[in-house]
Every structure is written in C-alpha cells, then in structure tokens.
Amino acid sequence: MMIEKKIGEKKHFVLKYILQAMLSLLVIIGAFFLFKILYFDHNPEYWIDMFYGNRLAVYLIYMGSEVFFGLFPPEIFMFWAINAGAGSIFSYVLNIVFFAAVSMAAGHLTYWFGRYLARKYGKRIRKQKKIAEYLPMVRKFGGIIILISAMTPLPWATISMIMGVIAYKYKYYTLFALARILRFAINGFLIFQTGSYFF
C-alpha cells in the first residue's frame, strides 16, 4: 500500500507540472498573438530595431536569465528567433541549439555552484529561503524533479543548484538533465509551427 501511495503521489506530481507547462506555453503563445495585433503590426520597424537589431543584447539577457534562476522562459527567446532569422529555418534551428546548449551549461554550472555552497556553508545554505522552499520536494522526488524542471516552468537553475547542495550523484543528474534538450526540441518545433504564421 505504501509503494502504491508513493507511485500515486509521483503520478500526480508529474501530471500537475506537465499541465502547468502546457498552460504556460499557451499563455506565452497568446501573449505574442496579442503583442503582434496590438503593437507589432502598428509599428514593426520600431520593434525590429529595438529587439531584433541587437542580437548580442538578446543573447546576453538569455544567458543571464538561464544562470540566474530562469528570469524569462526560454520560449520567449524562441519566438524572438523566428523573426530574428527572417524566416530562415537554418538560422532558427541554430538559435534553438544555442539556447539549449546555454541552458544545459547553466544547469551544470549551478549544480557545481550548489556543491561549492554546501561544502563551504553546510547547513546554513539549506536554510536559505529559496533553497528551503524546494528542498523537501527535491528529496522526496529525486531524479523525477530534475526531469520535471527540465521540461516545465519549474526553475531549472534553482533545482540544479539544490541537486548540487544535497550532493545528488552527478552522473544521474547529467542523465536526467538530458530531458532539457527534449524541451527545446519539442517547444522549438511547436513555436516554429505557430510563430511562422504570424511573424
């Protein structure tokens, strides 16, 4: 009975965050539709100069976001990539590969940062609000939480850092973290199919 209860809890947990991921993607797509209708269509030159003319700034913002606890969902940058490449599939795919690589690197970086914090500050770091909030969930669900955070809006860098703090085995972290690439592949494809119609 105890095992069945744990399996039931894990299924509920996974379904909850999968639904949240789908909802967040729909919200982002809806927001871009509104942005296009209300703002972009009325003055496209302004928005192109502002957002699409400075690739370096966008890349730096994305890298900062991925390292510092996912300030912006990666899907926002995927939409940017559609117009930035002027409809080129090759350019779009290169951007998605770059975004995925940065996200993976950020996860590994924050994992090792978590290991460093645990060695240097021990129990004190586990009591920090941001970490204490997710720590019980991370301990309870283990590798599943890595899969969920890789595929859903759960903060990827935060979960990766906590995995480092609790000294979760790096080889297992690396294995589960590969799901992050799947997120970029699936959402990149869906956003291209959607975004290519209105940009």
The pTM of this model reads 0.74
- Given this model, what pLDDT does residue 97 score? 96
What's residue 45's pLDDT?
54
Contact 79, 169 (CB under 8 A): no
Using DSSP's 3-state secondary structure scheme, residue 43 falls into: coil
pLDDT tier at 21, thresholds 50, 70, 90: low
Q: For residue 100, what are the CA distances in angstroms to 14, 41, 63, 115, 133?
A: 22, 30, 11, 23, 27
Tens of pLDDT, residues 153-179 = 778 888 898 889 888 899 999 999 999
**Do residues 183 and 70 touch, judged by C-beta distance below 8 A?**
no
CB atoms within 10 A of CB 69: 16
Tell whether the model's pLDDT for residue 106 goes beyond 90.
yes
What pLDDT score does 84 carry?
Answer: 73
Residue 82 exposed, middle or buried by CB count within 10 Å (0-12, 13-18, 19+): buried
User: How many Å separate Cα 60 from the centre of its chain?
Assistant: 16
- In one-letter notation, the amino acid at residue 185 is A
DSSP per-residue codes, 86-141:
TT-HHHHHHHHHHHHHHHHHHHHHHHHHHHHHHHHHTHHHHTSHHHHHHHHHHHHH
* Percentage of the chain lying above the pLDDT 70 cut: 67
Question: Which residues are within 8 A (CB) of 49 and not within 5 positions of it... i.e. 6 or more apart?
Answer: none
Q: How far apart are CA 2 and CA 10, in angstroms?
A: 13
**Integer Cα distance of 197 and 183 in angstroms:** 21
Residues listed for the chain: 199
pLDDT in tens, 41-85: 666 555 555 666 678 888 988 998 888 877 788 888 888 888 776
